[in-house]
Structure 1
Amino acid sequence: MSIVCVRGDSALDEQDLRAHLAAMLRLENISVLLGAGASVAAGGLTVLQLWKNFLREYPQSARRFSREGFINTEDTELANFEGDNTREVPNIEILLDSLEIARIDWQRRKPTSRNLKVFEKDVDLLLQCVVKAAILNEQSWRSAPKFDQLPHHVKLLQRLVGARQPGQASPWIFTTNYDLSVEWAAESVGVHTHTGFVGIHNRTFSPQSFDLGYRNVNARGEARFGCNDIYLAKLHGSLTWESSDNEYKELSASEFWPRLKGIIDGAQPVSSSMMVFPRAAKYLQTVGFLSGELFRRFSDFLAKPQSCIILIGYSFGDDHINRLIRSALLNPTLQVVAFLPEFSGTQEDQLVQLKPEVRRLLSLNSPRITFVGGGENVYFNNMVDLLPEPMLYDLKEQEFKERIRAASGGDHAE
């Protein structure tokens, strides 16, 4: 594997990087921030791919957004993006935010306007593209995927929980993705996931559940090594969340699938109750509580002593998250490891290709900040192989369990 790695002002080779990651996973607190790039291997789309699909399928909608001043004129031409994966795309969440505010104001001023109906249809088409980008695999919504259908997510989770020492906190997964890849991967190998929602038949958001954990009351000595649960904070929402009667609910994938199927087929509009998209005009009444609590947990984690956050598939395109990470560097024991495929070195001609936020972090020359680049070599599916092997979990053992279940018709528990 050919990688480029810089820690502070020092270059690391692959062996040094592996040693550094092994040390990071043994810190008191460990977390991972997953961006859109982490779901590509599972069938998801990057923001660039999402925007290309929107331009390809609904060019007239994009041009109308441009005429109204929501996006730049050059952002409406598919030809500008084809073959250029480094081109900046509109921030989809900020765009949706602006569109939502405009829609509400338009309804107030001209509720019967024919142009308003066209505008609302254009917004819904963009939302459909966002939903399609996060579906991953339609079959998984009907029956939960097995561990070998999300091998890279499974490997990440197993290596995180397998590195925990006795008494250490369970790992955190923070993600900007709407899909269910983390939940499905955890479920397929028996890792419990704390999402902030509690209940069996009526799962509602209760942030206090993040302060709870699991432990084996019978474990003694070496058996106490590792953990069997993770905390998952979906910072931008989830496809299976909805707001109803001032409550925030998490539904099962199979329960929510008929609604999603209607959306991606164009048979029904995206429901305003779906807790996926930013709704600035309703922030205080709805999304504010849930989103604010999740971001508070993110900020609180970054302030903990002896902590590390690993960034995977995150392109530094979210200014809110960037500010939180930057300010968290005041924590003298926080370590940041960022896997960024476009990072190729610290020469002037190499730095100019990077986002301003990345250049700002690199300019600090801090030994607490590590950037790892190398194109496809540091994509999510390759990056997880750099993490140290878990001590408690083994994929061959999992395969054996699967064969036992299959042979017994699935009637026997593990």
Structure 2
Amino acid sequence: MSIVCLRGDTELNEQDLRAHLVAMLRLENTAVLLGAGASVPSGGMTIMQLWKQFIRDHADTAKRFADGGFIAQEDAVLASFEAANPRNLPNIEALLDQLEMAKLDWTRRLASSRNLKIFKKDIEALLKCVVKAAVLDANAWGKPPAYDRFPYHVKLLQRLVGARQPGQASPWVFTTNYDLAVEWAAESIGIHTHTGFVGIHNRTFSPQSFDLGYRNINAKGEARFGCNDIYLAKLHGSLTWQCTDGEYRELASSEVWPKLKAIIDGVDAVDETLMVFPRAAKYLQTVGFLSGELFRRFSDFLAKPQSCIILAGYSFGDDHINRLLRSALLNPTLQIIAFLPEFMGTEPAELAGLKPEVRRLLALKSPRLTFVGGGEAAYFNHMVDLLPDPMLYDLNEQEFRERIKAMSGGDDAE
């Protein structure tokens, strides 16, 4: 399937898009925002797939959520998601937050209620489905990271880092995913990842670490500021985060895997200390501190001059992120490139299947907004392949080498 690309109100072909990406990754500040779709090639699920799986495996639970007013009645019926273009999916984080608040209120009023016990088990069922989707590859846990398990994440990081020029800031990776695909990919190829946590044996959250960077002390001149690191902000949490006694720690995958495996296998309930999900009971600690700090970093990036952010696997289902992206358009030097498979064009019938937020952004016809669609052509793996390889950046040097080669009779001259 061919690419459908629109920058403002101008259509771009694949060659134009590649040229645009080359220019954008040369800006002073670059970032990607990865949604659930970015983890699908690595074994994850889209929100659509996750919700369908939940309804299929826990039909009674979904019906009780609908009867309780937590989701719409049609969201509890599998058949409604077999339609050609269903886009109004429940927001999983918002739903979990509402369920948590209801559980707290119910516990306060009717702690011994039998229905409360059923309700808690229903929440457990949804949490376990999310954990299963975020595990990705069970064989990757507790073992040295292998680059061939996450090839597209590896290629993404290599091309983001390779695009940085001496003196430019390291790229940011923002993600709504709980999985470890980015961390494992970076570690497998020796790219350092700043996650906000510092320490060796006791990694605690220290947001000031986002203001630090790496440099080669043996290099001379501008080369000292070459890039070999990324900044990673996991906006919705991570499978390896833990909160105990008000302290936030990042655990090693080998340490957390036994707990996650017990949850998936149904041996244990979801560990309440794991910071996998938003919890209304811990609002001040989680949203007010850790998540709040990460979203502040996201907002700060969008306000930086000469910046570009590429959206991949993100379906515009998070109202908080949507508001930040929309308000960021007030930054006159920000460029947003959104890879959205369901975007097929601007005809009324094609727009009807898109979310209201996407239609609103398309209506702006801003040259700083580029939408790339066309079904599979806009999937995460195809997006990564469209990014320019680092060796293609310095065209002047390439031309210079070709001239030297011609002058020397065809032999390479170094």
**Could you tell me the TM-score, scaled by structure 2's length?**
0.92
Structure-2 change in CA distance of 1:225 and 1:2 (3 Å): farther
Please say if residues 236 and 291 of structure 1, whose CA atoms lie closer than 8 Å, have aligned partners that are also in contact.
yes
Structure 2 residue identity aligned to 1:184: W
Deviation at 1:288, TM superposition (A): 2.2
Deviation at 1:350, TM superposition (A): 1.2
Deviation at 1:313, TM superposition (A): 0.4
Structure 2 residue identity aligned to 1:232: L
Mapped to 2, the partners of 1:101 and 1:194 lie a distance apart of: 33
Q: State how many pairs are aligned.
A: 393
Please say if residues 87 and 353 of structure 2, whose CA atoms lie closer than 8 Å, have aligned partners that are also in contact.
no
Mapped to 2, the partners of 1:226 and 1:160 lie a distance apart of: 13
Residue of structure 2 in register with 1:265 after alignment: 265
Deviation at 1:167, TM superposition (A): 0.4
Deviation at 1:335, TM superposition (A): 0.4
For residues 73-88 of structure 1, what are the structure 2 equivalents within 5 Å? 73-82=73-82, 84=84, 86-88=86-88
Residue of structure 1 in register with 2:321 after alignment: 321
Runs of 4+ that moved beyond 6 A: none
Please say if residues 215 and 226 of structure 2, whose CA atoms lie closer than 8 Å, have aligned partners that are also in contact.
no
Gaps of 5+ in 2: 394-414
Residue of structure 1 in register with 2:93 after alignment: 93
Mapped to 1, the partners of 2:379 and 2:389 lie a distance apart of: 18
For residues 290-369 of structure 1, what are the structure 2 equivalents within 5 Å? 290-369=290-369
Residue of structure 2 in register with 1:254 after alignment: 254
Mapped to 2, the partners of 1:290 and 1:359 lie a distance apart of: 32
Please say if residues 193 and 232 of structure 1, whose CA atoms lie closer than 8 Å, have aligned partners that are also in contact.
yes
Moved more, 345-354 or 315-324: 345-354
Residue of structure 2 in register with 1:281 after alignment: 281
Deviation at 1:2, TM superposition (A): 1.4
Residue of structure 2 in register with 1:41 after alignment: 41
Mapped to 1, the partners of 2:8 and 2:193 lie a distance apart of: 34
Mapped to 2, the partners of 1:187 and 1:261 lie a distance apart of: 23
Structure 1 residue identity aligned to 2:327: S
Structure 2 residue identity aligned to 1:315: S
Mapped to 1, the partners of 2:192 and 2:54 lie a distance apart of: 36
3-state SS in 1 of match to 2:390: coil
Moved more, 316-325 or 374-383: 374-383
Deviation at 1:225, TM superposition (A): 7.3
Moved more, 42-51 or 285-294: 285-294
Deviation at 1:285, TM superposition (A): 3.1
3-state SS in 2 of match to 1:214: coil
Mapped to 2, the partners of 1:201 and 1:80 lie a distance apart of: 48
Structure 2 residue identity aligned to 1:259: K
- 1:193-213 Cα distance to aligned partner (Å, 9 max, x none): 000000000000000000000
Please say if residues 186 and 192 of structure 2, whose CA atoms lie closer than 8 Å, have aligned partners that are also in contact.
yes
Structure 2 residue identity aligned to 1:255: E
For residues 125-204 of structure 1, what are the structure 2 equivalents within 5 Å? 125-204=125-204
Residue of structure 2 in register with 1:407 after alignment: none
Please say if residues 96 and 278 of structure 1, whose CA atoms lie closer than 8 Å, have aligned partners that are also in contact.
yes
Deviation at 1:348, TM superposition (A): 1.6
- 1:283-323 Cα distance to aligned partner (Å, 9 max, x none): 01344200000000000000000001100000000000000
Mapped to 1, the partners of 2:285 and 2:381 lie a distance apart of: 39
Deviation at 1:281, TM superposition (A): 3.0
Moved more, 218-227 or 200-209: 218-227
Please say if residues 305 and 334 of structure 2, whose CA atoms lie closer than 8 Å, have aligned partners that are also in contact.
yes
Mapped to 1, the partners of 2:287 and 2:363 lie a distance apart of: 35
Deviation at 1:223, TM superposition (A): 4.6
Mapped to 1, the partners of 2:311 and 2:226 lie a distance apart of: 22
Moved more, 134-143 or 280-289: 280-289
Residue of structure 1 in register with 2:410 after alignment: none
3-state SS in 2 of match to 1:388: coil
Deviation at 1:145, TM superposition (A): 3.0
Residue of structure 2 in register with 1:112 after alignment: 112
Please say if residues 164 and 225 of structure 1, whose CA atoms lie closer than 8 Å, have aligned partners that are also in contact.
no
Deviation at 1:88, TM superposition (A): 2.3
Moved more, 369-378 or 84-93: 84-93
Residue of structure 2 in register with 1:25 after alignment: 25
Deviation at 1:149, TM superposition (A): 1.3
Mapped to 2, the partners of 1:361 and 1:276 lie a distance apart of: 31
Mapped to 2, the partners of 1:273 and 1:27 lie a distance apart of: 40
Please say if residues 87 and 355 of structure 2, whose CA atoms lie closer than 8 Å, have aligned partners that are also in contact.
no
Structure-2 change in CA distance of 1:225 and 1:86 (3 Å): farther
Please say if residues 59 and 76 of structure 2, whose CA atoms lie closer than 8 Å, have aligned partners that are also in contact.
yes
Moved more, 213-222 or 23-32: 213-222
Please say if residues 29 and 306 of structure 1, whose CA atoms lie closer than 8 Å, have aligned partners that are also in contact.
yes
Please say if residues 243 and 286 of structure 1, whose CA atoms lie closer than 8 Å, have aligned partners that are also in contact.
no
Structure 1 residue identity aligned to 2:204: T
**Could you tell me the TM-score, scaled by structure 1's length?**
0.92
- 1:106-165 Cα distance to aligned partner (Å, 9 max, x none): 000001111101100000010000000100000100213311111100000000000001
3-state SS in 2 of match to 1:277: coil
Q: Percent identity?
A: 74
Structure 1 residue identity aligned to 2:136: L
Structure 2 residue identity aligned to 1:301: F
Residue of structure 2 in register with 1:64 after alignment: 64
Mapped to 2, the partners of 1:144 and 1:56 lie a distance apart of: 35
Mapped to 2, the partners of 1:105 and 1:368 lie a distance apart of: 46
Residue of structure 2 in register with 1:400 after alignment: none
Please say if residues 163 and 226 of structure 1, whose CA atoms lie closer than 8 Å, have aligned partners that are also in contact.
no
Structure-2 change in CA distance of 1:253 and 1:196 (3 Å): same
Structure 1 residue identity aligned to 2:370: T
Structure 2 residue identity aligned to 1:18: R
- 1:323-372 Cα distance to aligned partner (Å, 9 max, x none): 00000110110000000001111122211111111111111111100000
